[in-house]
Structure 1
Amino acid sequence: MAGIEINRSREMAVFVHIVEQGGFSAAARVCRMTPSAISKLIARLETRLGARLVNRSTRRFQLTPEGCVFYERATQILADIADAERSAGAGERPFGRVRLTTSASYAIHILAPILPDFLDLYPDITLDIVQTDMVIDLLSERTDVAVRAGPLKSSSLVARKLGETPSVITAAPGYLNRFGVPETIADLDRHRRLGFGYLRAIDGWPLKQHDETIVHPASGRVQASDGEALRQLALSGNGLARLALFTVRDDIAAGRLVPVLERFNPGDHETFYAVHAGGSGPLPSRVRALLDFLAARGRVE
């Protein structure tokens, strides 16, 4: 069935070229076919339709009444096909809705400041942003692009690296004034540690001790499901939090948060990726536009 439909659309396109170019020879040049091949194609089309489309008895090119009707319908059908391809993302101008899943930290600190430029560049794209730190299944959640941090598991997903960021343990000045500044790793046991409320690739805080890296438990009385919530908890004086530097850089510069235990920082970096479902076909232009924009403007440092 698919092969028949493709042949029919091709026959329509050739016939439209014949009409618009005013003859077989001119259409043959446009379609990169020989005049005899054009003539045979139209003969097959007329046989299948059971109607003559072109009068061949005169030296001047002339459509029959049936040919005029077929030309009008063919041009409309070909226009509908082109419109369907544009709507599906195959056209040059990106169009449609893109569903993006990302952490609140990335959405607030990286995406939000650059989003006006993306919307100006692509006025026909609508973004549906879902904030979560949890790893979701893109296909079942009907998600086009996800921004993820940390090591990627082997899968059918295609990833584009968006950069990497170090992490830092911080606390608000008010908290440190009340509970003291931790000086050693052992001091962490008497402090309130704010951690994530779900299992991560590294379940704890990596710290450098002598010549090796250990992972200190981060579980405490308060946990949260995303990094931005932990940042807000730290800013409010609820305890120590180990956060991506790009999310607290401004807070540290303004004195709202203070880094601690930096001499024990192992210097590890968390890598960010924009991922999408793989496949053999081309990406819809709306998805490709967002991926290219994030790769150029949405980098993490």
Structure 2
Amino acid sequence: MARSEVNRSGEMEVFVQVVEQGGFSAAARTCLMTPSAVSKLVSRLETRLGVRLVNRSTRALQLTPEGCAFYERSTGILADIEDAERGARAGEEPVGRIRLNTSASYAAHILAPVLPMFLELHPGITLDLVQTDRIVDLLTERTDVAVRAGPMKSSSLVARKLGETAMVIVGSPAYLERFGAPASVEDLEKHPRLGFRYVRTVDGWPLKEKSGTIVLPVAGRVQASDGEALRRLALTGNGLARLAAFTVRDDIAAGRLVPVLDRLNPGDREAFHAIHIGQGGPLPSRVRALLDFLAEHGRVS
């Protein structure tokens, strides 16, 4: 088939729908096609490209590495086409829905106070906010931007640093009055240490001793899935928690939480990044608008 006879952008649109809808049947409904027509289109595309893009099974559709790369490039190209058409019709004002995945702590303490400003600046954008401390796969979760804490691993994701924050051990005044404030690592071992119920980069509390930095395991009868839940547990006297400083700064200033064992703090800091799929390729204007806004108003310290 001659190149001029191939509707490559149309093929990309159908393939992107297959990925984002999770299968041929769902994509067919979105594209107003039959499932067999969608399947044949993807097969023709694979034949023309000379690679397999998806592994088909009765249970699920799984992208090959080549399929992932083609999906990323296709979404960028389609976004460029959409932006060009929108720019011709109504200027460069970004519009559309953004799916943002972030931790509950970042959403509550950093994003929520500045979100009205972002929505006022961009009235054409709708934000779909998903809160979880779990590391998600942006492709399978159909996420445009994610804000993640911790070191970035080498991947195909593009990261923009949003700053970093210190860590601090805190307890409520009522808890410390009842059980006493720990003065050493040995004292701390006797206290319930509220922790996350999933494995983190450092699975415990790093503490500075004369011999060097040690890691004290989390111990206690309560664990939680996100930092904001741990903060609430500490506020209500369920034990001590080691949390990002920006999440408890107001609580400490108001006397609702009290820092303990500052002298044993090794000075480690947790970095935050806004990440998205693609290696420097084109982005939809709505995604660029959010990334630029977070870089200026969504910084962590």
Whole-angstrom CA distance in 2 between matches of 1:255 and 1:241? 16
Sort the Cα spacing of 1:160 and 1:280 in 2 relative to 1 into closer, same or farther, 3 A. closer
Whole-angstrom CA distance in 2 between matches of 1:83 and 1:209? 56
Q: How does 1:90-239 map to 2 (within 5 A)?
A: 92-239=92-239
Sort the Cα spacing of 1:238 and 1:95 in 2 relative to 1 into closer, same or farther, 3 A. same
Instruction: Output the aligned Cα RMSD.
Output: 2.0
User: What amino acid does structure 2 have at the position aligned with 1:248?
Assistant: V
SS at match of 1:190: coil
1:283 aligns with: 283
Whole-angstrom CA distance in 1 between matches of 2:91 and 2:284? 9
1:249 aligns with: 249
Sort the Cα spacing of 1:176 and 1:267 in 2 relative to 1 into closer, same or farther, 3 A. same
Quote how far apart the aligned CAs of 1:211 are: 4.9
TM-score by length of 1: 0.71
Any gaps of 5 or more consecutive residues in structure 2? 8-80
Whole-angstrom CA distance in 2 between matches of 1:82 and 1:221? 52
Query: Is the contact made by 1:85 and 1:91 (CA closer than 8 Å) also made in structure 2?
Result: no
User: What amino acid does structure 2 have at the position aligned with 1:257?
Assistant: L
Quote how far apart the aligned CAs of 1:116 are: 0.4
Aligned length: 225
Whole-angstrom CA distance in 2 between matches of 1:136 and 1:150? 14
Query: Is the contact made by 2:97 and 2:126 (CA closer than 8 Å) also made in structure 1?
Result: yes
**Larger Rg over CA atoms:** 1
Any gaps of 5 or more consecutive residues in structure 1? 7-80
Whole-angstrom CA distance in 2 between matches of 1:142 and 1:130? 11
Sort the Cα spacing of 1:225 and 1:118 in 2 relative to 1 into closer, same or farther, 3 A. same
| Aligned sequence identity (%) | 71
Whole-angstrom CA distance in 1 between matches of 2:179 and 2:259? 15
CA offsets 1:10-66 (integer angstroms, 9 cap, x no match): xxxxxxxxxxxxxxxxxxxxxxxxxxxxxxxxxxxxxxxxxxxxxxxxxxxxxxxxx
